[in-house]
């Protein structure tokens, strides 16, 4: 049975709901601490001086006090790893393959050991909406530019394992949004057609991917990095937060 999702005077009858992760379901706050730990471990492994370590931390995006300075935080995971390896190679003279291997190892170590349960913060209304979808019999997928295993760690830390039926990351579908491929992959995982799905995201490429795949609806949210001007051309509905959408029971 279709779930009735209402927002800004619109009603969608969907059985599948696809969400981006960072900026859509989860705030970006934890990333500053994650980058801090990545920088610390890389600096330790390389024996960097305090000045060199500070340069690396700045590159990664540790300094949340600088307006608009996100470092590699907004990048898809493979691009973030590649950019960091390139920085290490150019700045500290490492061979690029060696730098790439080190970055992958350290990022994986942080994924496994970081206390996400203490630092992850849902965006307003996220958990309530997910629970409402599940109560009404809908299915949920997360479609992210992170890797699926890292995204699943985040969901576990929030206690959301039972609220999400599928996770599509770049290790599951290597083609990035705005191509429709990850959205189509998520729909297949849920067992539904794109025409039965609504996609929710904070960046234009989330909504562009949904439209390209033929989703029933595209919902933009202003809780991430995308602006109203960037999202409006691609959004059937634009919300200040997920609290503005609800499930009609």
The domain limits of the chain are 3-27+121-248, 29-117
Flag whether pLDDT at 65 surpasses 60.
Answer: no
Average pLDDT over residues 111-139: 96
**Quick one: how many helices (H) and strands (E) in the chain?**
10, 9
Is pTM beyond 0.85? Reply is: yes
C-alpha 8/C-alpha 187 separation (Å) is: 25
> In which band, very low, low, confident or very high, does the pLDDT at 52 lie, cut at 50, 70 and 90?
very high
Q: What is the pLDDT of residues 179-212, one digit of tens each?
A: 999 999 999 999 999 999 999 999 999 999 999 9
Residue 242, CB-side half-sphere exposure with 13 Å CA sphere: 26
CA 188 – CA 183 distance, rounded (Å) = 9
- What pLDDT, on the 0 to 100 scale, is given for residue 122? 97
Length of the chain: 249
3-27+121-248 carries CATH number 3.90.226.10: no
Q: Report pLDDT for 190.
A: 98
Is residue 224 within 8 Å of 202, Cβ to Cβ? yes
**C-alpha to C-alpha distance for 200 and 207, rounded to whole angstroms:** 7
Residue 87 pLDDT more than 90? Answer: yes
Report the alpha-carbon distance of residue 83 to residue 71 in Å, rounded.
Answer: 10
Q: At 137, list the tokens.
A: 């019999």
- Provide the percentage of residues in the chain whose pLDDT is more than 90: 94
């Amino acid at each position: 049975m279709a779930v009735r999702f209402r927002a800004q005077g619109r009603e969608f009858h969907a059985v599948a709901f696809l969400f981006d992760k960072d900026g859509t379901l989860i705030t970006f706050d934890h990333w500053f601490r994650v980058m801090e730990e990545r920088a610390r471990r890389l600096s330790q492994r390389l024996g960097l001086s305090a000045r060199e370590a500070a340069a690396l931390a700045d590159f990664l995006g540790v300094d949340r006090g600088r307006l608009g300075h996100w470092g590699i935080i907004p990048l898809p995971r493979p691009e973030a790893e590649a950019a960091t390896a390139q920085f290490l190679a150019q700045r500290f003279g490492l061979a690029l393959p060696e730098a790439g291997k080190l970055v992958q190892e350290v990022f994986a170590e942080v994924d496994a050991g970081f206390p996400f349960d203490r630092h992850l913060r849902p965006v307003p209304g996220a958990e309530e909406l997910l629970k409402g979808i599940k109560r009404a019999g809908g299915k949920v997928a997360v479609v992210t530019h992170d890797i699926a295993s890292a995204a699943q760690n985040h969901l576990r830390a929030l206690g959301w394992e039972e609220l999400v039926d599928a996770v599509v990351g770049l290790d599951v579908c290597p083609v990035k949004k705005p191509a429709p491929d990850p959205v189509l992959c998520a729909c297949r995982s849920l067992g539904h057609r794109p025409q039965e799905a609504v996609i929710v995201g904070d960046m234009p490429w989330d909504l562009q991917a949904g439209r390209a795949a033929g989703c029933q609806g595209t919902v933009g949210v202003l809780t991430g990095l995308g602006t109203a001007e960037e999202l409006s051309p691609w959004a059937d509905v634009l919300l200040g937060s997920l609290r503005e959408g609800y499930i009609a029971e």
